[in-house]
Amino acid sequence: MKAVLSGKAGPPDILRIVDIPIPEPGAGEVRVRVHCATVTAGDAILRKMNRIVLGALGALFGFKAMKVPGVEFSGVIDAVGADIGDFAVGDQVRGTTTGLAYGANAEYVCVPAVSKNSVVIRKAPEISHADAAAATVGAMTAMQFVRKAELKSGEAFLVYGASGSVGSFAVQLGKHFGAVVIGVCSAANADAVKSLGADSVIDYAQEDFTTNGRRYDVIFDAVGKLSRSAAKGSLNPGGRFVSVKSPTKEVAAELEYVQDLQVKGEIKPLIDREFALEDIVEAHRLVESGRKRGNVLIRVAEDRD
Ligand SMILES: NC(=O)c1ccc[n+]([C@@H]2O[C@H](COP(=O)([O-])OP(=O)(O)OC[C@H]3O[C@@H](n4cnc5c(N)ncnc54)[C@H](OP(=O)(O)O)[C@@H]3O)[C@@H](O)[C@H]2O)c1
Q: What angle do CA 195, 153, 242 make, to 5 degrees?
A: 80
What is the share, in percent, of the chain residues with pLDDT greater than 90?
87
Q: What is the pLDDT of residue 192?
A: 98
Q: Which of 48, 182, 221, 223 to mutate to test the pocket of ligand 1 (most atoms within 8 A of CB)?
A: 223
pLDDT over threshold 90, residue 51: no
Q: What is the pLDDT of residue 168?
A: 98
- 43 Rama sector, left if φ>0, alpha if ψ -120 to 50, beta otherwise: alpha
**Residue range 142-151: average pLDDT?**
98
> Which residue's CA is minimally distant from atom 5 of ligand 1?
141
- Which of ligand 1's atoms lies nearest the C-alpha of 294? 43
Query: Cα of 237 to ligand 1 centre, how many Å?
Result: 27
Considering only CA atoms, which of 221, 165, 218 is closest in space to residue 189?
Answer: 165
Query: Cα of 202 to ligand 1 centre, how many Å?
Result: 16
Query: Cα of 40 to ligand 1 centre, how many Å?
Result: 10
Q: What is the pLDDT of residue 73?
A: 98
Query: Cα of 238 to ligand 1 centre, how many Å?
Result: 26
Q: What is the pLDDT of residue 117?
A: 85
- Which of ligand 1's atoms lies nearest the C-alpha of 45? 47
Give the global pTM: 0.96
Ligand 1 pocket by Cβ (under 6 Å): 40-42, 137-138, 141, 160-161, 163-167, 184-186, 188-189, 204, 223-225, 244, 247-248, 290-293
The amino acid sitting at 305 is D
Q: What is the pLDDT of residue 284?
A: 98
62-81 confidence digits (pLDDT tens): 777 778 999 999 999 999 99
The amino acid sitting at 49 is M
> Which residue's CA is minimally distant from atom 8 of ligand 1?
244
Q: Where are the alpha helices (DSSP H) in 107-247?
A: 129-134, 137-148, 165-176, 190-195, 228-232
From residue 44, how far is each of 151, 202, 243 by CA, in Å?
31, 28, 20
Q: What is the pLDDT of residue 298?
A: 98
Q: Which of 100, 166, 245, 287 to mutate to test the pocket of ligand 1 (most atoms within 8 A of CB)?
A: 166
**Residue range 174-178: average pLDDT?**
98
> Which residue's CA is minimally distant from atom 40 of ligand 1?
186
Query: Cα of 116 to ligand 1 centre, how many Å?
Result: 25
Non-local CB neighbours of 159 within 8 Å, separated by 6+ positions: 167, 170, 171, 174, 181, 182, 183, 184, 198, 220, 222
What is the share, in percent, of the chain residues with pLDDT greater than 70?
98
Task: State how far the Cα of 78 lies from the Cα of 239, in Å rounded to an integer.
Answer: 48
- Which of ligand 1's atoms lies nearest the C-alpha of 244? 1
Counted residue by residue, the chain has a size of 305
pLDDT over threshold 90, residue 61: no
For helices 280-288 and 41-48, the axis angle rounded to 10 degrees is: 100
| Buried residues in 206-221 as b, exposed as e (16+ CB within 10 A) | eeebbeeeeebbbbbb
Decide if 121 contacts 255 (C-beta within 8 A). Answer: yes
Query: Cα of 178 to ligand 1 centre, how many Å?
Result: 24
Query: Predicted confidence band at 252 (pLDDT cuts at 50, 70, 90)?
Result: very high
Q: What are phi and psi of 199, to 5 degrees?
A: -75, -30
Query: Cα of 201 to ligand 1 centre, how many Å?
Result: 16
Considering only CA atoms, which of 16, 152, 11, 248 is closest in space to residue 2?
Answer: 16
> Which residue's CA is minimally distant from atom 48 of ligand 1?
244
Task: State how far the Cα of 271 lies from the Cα of 87, in Å rounded to an integer.
Answer: 29
